[in-house]
Amino acid sequence: MKKAIIIGATSGIGYALGKLLLEKGFHVGMCGRRTGLLNDLKKEYGGRLHVQKLDLSDTAKSIKGVAGLIKKMDGMDLLVVSSGVGFLNHEMDLKKEMDTISINVAGFTAMANAAVKYFEKKCSGHIAAISSIAAVRGGSESPAYNASKAYMSSYMEGLRQRMSRRGAEIYVTDIQPGFVNTAMAKGDGLFWVAPPEKAARQIFRAIQKRKTHVYITRRWRLIAWLLKIAPAFIYDRF
Ligand SMILES: NC(=O)c1ccc[n+]([C@@H]2O[C@H](COP(=O)([O-])OP(=O)(O)OC[C@H]3O[C@@H](n4cnc5c(N)ncnc54)[C@H](OP(=O)(O)O)[C@@H]3O)[C@@H](O)[C@H]2O)c1
């Protein structure tokens, strides 16, 4: 029986993915601060769902929390980091920028590091994390958010290279969504907004196929390509 732990599974994409994995027969550890939101799932999936309260702003406690959860579940095959925060930050409020770095950079790194250490001991495993299409270029609405997502994607590439050099059977999947209909999708002019359930299905398929990278939904590949080729003098006007 496969065992997955999802960090940031109390709502949105992480919740939809957790529910899908439970439907597929996985044992699932679902983490976040608002664990009360998982009560209904707990009633439905009782023994296969393990809930862990975890606040990534305290990395030391979070690492302990995940270690405890792995013990409780008697192992882990897959770790998904879906936690994240993002703010529209026109006023350049420093606290918002620092909170973004705390959760999306430091918190993510702590979780990825815990997974690397666990999987390297076990000589197998899979790490996946939800970065964003925002990783492709900087963003004026929320500079720290785009930068944090670029960090995540680059970090995952580094992990993948590490595993390849060691010949380790540990897979790393970088997931880059466009817009998904959750509390995180903020601002005007949203388009191609996917339901979280559809995003979860595509993420699950990418993990099953051990893909190194996936856009969610797939059509966002086109936007990523346009963003990458746009010269700075055009990009900077938008
Ligand atoms: N929705 C989009 O359009 C979109 C697009 C691209 C990328 N993404 C990325 O997708 C990921 C999931 O976001 P979502 O769209 O599903 O939004 P969401 O519903 O707001 O989910 C965010 C998750 O992160 C968790 N989280 C936030 N702060 C945390 C903390 N301090 N400690 C532990 N967990 C924390 C939340 O749990 P608690 O609040 O319960 O702690 C929640 O489960 C994020 O990384 C986001 O950047 C989203």
Is the per-residue pLDDT at 150 higher than 90? Answer: yes
Is the per-residue pLDDT at 156 higher than 90? Answer: yes
Is the per-residue pLDDT at 229 higher than 90? Answer: yes
Handedness of CA 80, 83, 89, 92 (dihedral sign): negative
Q: Please give the average per-residue pLDDT across 183-198, as a whole number.
A: 92
Separation of CA 184 and ligand 1 centre (Å): 7
Is the per-residue pLDDT at 106 higher than 70? Answer: yes
12 lines ligand 1 (CB under 6 A): yes
Structure pTM? 0.98
Is the per-residue pLDDT at 188 higher than 90? Answer: no
Is the per-residue pLDDT at 164 higher than 70? Answer: yes
pLDDT tens digits for 116-128? 999 999 999 999 9
Q: What is the mean pLDDT of the chain?
A: 97
Q: Which is nearest to 175 in space by CA: 212, 142, 140? A: 212
The pLDDT score that the predictor gives to residue 1 is: 64
**227/235 Cα distance (integer angstroms):** 8
Percent residues over pLDDT 70 in the chain: 100
**159/125 Cα distance (integer angstroms):** 12
pLDDT tens digits for 197-216? 999 999 999 999 999 999 99
32 lines ligand 1 (CB under 6 A): yes
Is the peptide bond between 217 and the residue preceding it cis, with omega within 30 degrees of 0?
yes
Separation of CA 92 and ligand 1 centre (Å): 21
Q: Please give the average per-residue pLDDT across 29-54, as a whole number.
A: 96
Q: What structural domains and CATH numbers belong to the chain?
A: 3-235 (3.40.50.720)
Separation of CA 148 and ligand 1 centre (Å): 13
What burial class does residue 71 get, using C-beta atoms within 10 Å of its C-beta: 0-12 exposed, 13-18 middle, 19+ buried? exposed
